[in-house]
Amino acid sequence: MRMKTCPICGQYKLCNRHHRFPVAVWGQSKDIIWLCLECHQALHDEIRQKENLILRQYPEIYIGTLGSLIRRKNDTRRTRKRNAKNDRPNGSKHYQNPRSNQED
Q: What is the pLDDT of residue 6?
A: 97
Does 37 map to a domain? yes
Give the integer Cα–Cα distance in Å for 43 and 29.
19
Residue 104 reports pLDDT greater than 50: no
Number of domains in the chain: 1
In degrees and rounded to multiples of 5, residue 3 shows phi and psi of: -80, 120
pLDDT score recorded for residue 90: 56
Report the SS3 class of residue 3.
strand
Q: Which structural domain, as residue segments, surrounds residue 58?
A: 2-86
Answer for the pair 33, 8: CB distance below 8 angstroms, yes or no: no
Among the listed residues 56, 58, 9, the one whose alpha carbon sits nearest the alpha carbon of residue 34:
9
Q: Does a structural domain hold residue 95?
A: no
Q: Work out the mean pLDDT of the chain and round it to a whole number.
A: 80
Is position 52 within any domain? yes
Task: Report which residue type is found at 70.
Answer: I
Residues 6-54 have pLDDT tens digits of: 999 999 999 999 998 877 777 787 889 999 999 999 999 999 999 999 9
In a domain? residue 82 = yes
* Proportion of the chain above pLDDT 90, given as a percent: 40
Assess if residue 74 is contained within a domain.
Answer: yes
Global confidence as pTM: 0.55
25 lies in some domain? yes
